[in-house]
């Protein structure tokens, strides 16, 4: 993507993301309409829908040729990897939004010809806006984020897992997570994939392992992580196709290879 086009879209998107955050903040103490989707754990609220609709309308009005991949159904149905695609999660961490009224974020990514170009993550209650433009660095509000320190000792590492990893599964070998947990110093789960990747990008956590994540859960945060030289792959070390659902393993450079080779590479059972 041309640098000037990227700068123009960045400025525009920043305005919309901040506005989205303001709408969410103003509605925090109102009565919520909460519905379950596929399961009782998979929630959507009136605010998730309102924010997605707001962002989709603004994008379509301003950039009618761009496509939108989003969680709550207001985006496009058919997405090819060509052209410019926005990946939007209006609220990542909806269960936190409902139960805690914090630890959630608005996540917006712009992907051009399959390459992540712009990422915004807005931690609404902390009022931290994380942003990045490809090859131009990452920022928390106006402060540039530093390069990730390369840590190598797994015994000192802090990791986070997502809820889904601890659920029963025929597809994944559950002892892998126990082996990793035994090895590292601590394991946490914050409940928002976006904010967990950002914690890695900020050096507050050394890695995040998760499964069943959709493109909108991770796209923007990976763009930020790339700018501080973190690594994001599928759990088995494979490259991520930004338009597919899957596992994820993000970390600093020091421990990525060790964890993939010693634990995650064969984690997925070979299904016959």
Q: Which does 163 bind (CB under 5 to 8 A by kind): ligand IPD, Ca ion, none?
A: ligand IPD
Q: For residue 69, what are its two tokens? A: 């991949």
Q: Taking a C-beta distance cutoff of 8 angstroms, is the pair 247, 235 a contact?
A: yes
Q: Does 52 participate in binding ligand IPD (rule CB under 6 A)?
A: no
Q: Does 72 participate in binding ligand IPD (rule CB under 6 A)?
A: no
Q: Tell which positions 143-172 bind ligand IPD, by CB under 6 A.
A: 162-164
Residue 216 CB, nearest distance to Ca ion (Å)? 6
Q: Does 217 participate in binding ligand IPD (rule CB under 6 A)?
A: yes
Q: Does 106 participate in binding ligand IPD (rule CB under 6 A)?
A: no
- From the list 113-121, 167-175, 215-223, 226-234, the region that binds Ca ion by CB under 5 A is 215-223
Name residues whose C-beta falls within 8 Å of residue 267's C-beta, 6 or more positions apart in sequence. Answer: 172, 173, 176, 235, 236
What 82-85 contacts at long range (C-beta under 8 Å, 24+ apart), as own/partner pairs, is: 82/113, 83/112, 83/113, 84/1, 84/110, 84/111, 84/112, 85/110, 85/111, 85/112, 85/243
Q: Does 136 participate in binding ligand IPD (rule CB under 6 A)?
A: no
Q: Tell which positions 66-85 bind Ca ion, by CB under 5 A.
A: 71
Give the max Cα distance, the chain: 51
Of the candidates 72, 92, 202, 227, which one interacts with ligand IPD according to CB under 6 A?
Answer: 92
- Per-residue binding letters, 89-108, with Ca ion (x by CB under 5 A): x-xx----------------
* 207-213 β-sheet, strand order: 186-188, 158-161, 207-213, 246-251, 231-233
Q: Which does 213 bind (CB under 5 to 8 A by kind): ligand IPD, Ca ion, none?
A: ligand IPD
The footprint of ligand IPD (CB under 6 A) covers 71, 89, 92-95, 162-164, 191-193, 210, 212-213, 217
């Amino acid at each position: 993507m041309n640098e000037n086009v990227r700068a123009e879209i960045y400025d525009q998107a920043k305005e919309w993301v901040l506005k989205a955050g303001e709408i969410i903040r103003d509605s925090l103490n109102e009565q919520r309409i909460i519905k379950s989707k596929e399961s009782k754990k998979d929630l959507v609220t009136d605010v998730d829908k309102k924010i997605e609709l707001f962002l989709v309308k603004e994008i379509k009005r301003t950039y009618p040729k761009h496509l939108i991949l989003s969680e709550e159904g207001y985006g496009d149905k058919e997405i090819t990897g060509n052209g410019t695609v926005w990946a939007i999660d209006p609220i990542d961490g909806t269960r936190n939004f409902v139960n805690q009224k914090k630890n959630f974020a608005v996540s917006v990514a712009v992907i051009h010809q399959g390459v992540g170009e712009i990422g915004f993550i807005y931690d609404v209650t902390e009022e931290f806006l994380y942003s990045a433009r490809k090859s131009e660095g990452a920022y928390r509000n106006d402060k540039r984020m530093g390069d990730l320190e390369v840590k190598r000792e797994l015994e000192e590492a802090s990791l986070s897992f997502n809820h889904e990893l601890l659920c029963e599964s025929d597809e994944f070998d559950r002892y892998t997570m126990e082996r990793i947990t035994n090895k590292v110093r601590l394991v946490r789960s914050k409940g928002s994939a976006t904010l967990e990747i950002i914690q890695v990008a900020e050096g507050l956590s050394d890695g995040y392992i998760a499964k069943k994540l959709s493109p909108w859960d991770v796209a923007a945060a990976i763009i930020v992580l790339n700018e501080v030289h973190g690594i994001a792959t599928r759990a088995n070390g494979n490259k991520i196709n930004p338009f597919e659902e899957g596992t994820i393993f993000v970390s600093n450079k020091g421990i990525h290879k060790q964890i993939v080779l010693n634990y995650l590479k064969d984690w997925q059972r070979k299904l016959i």
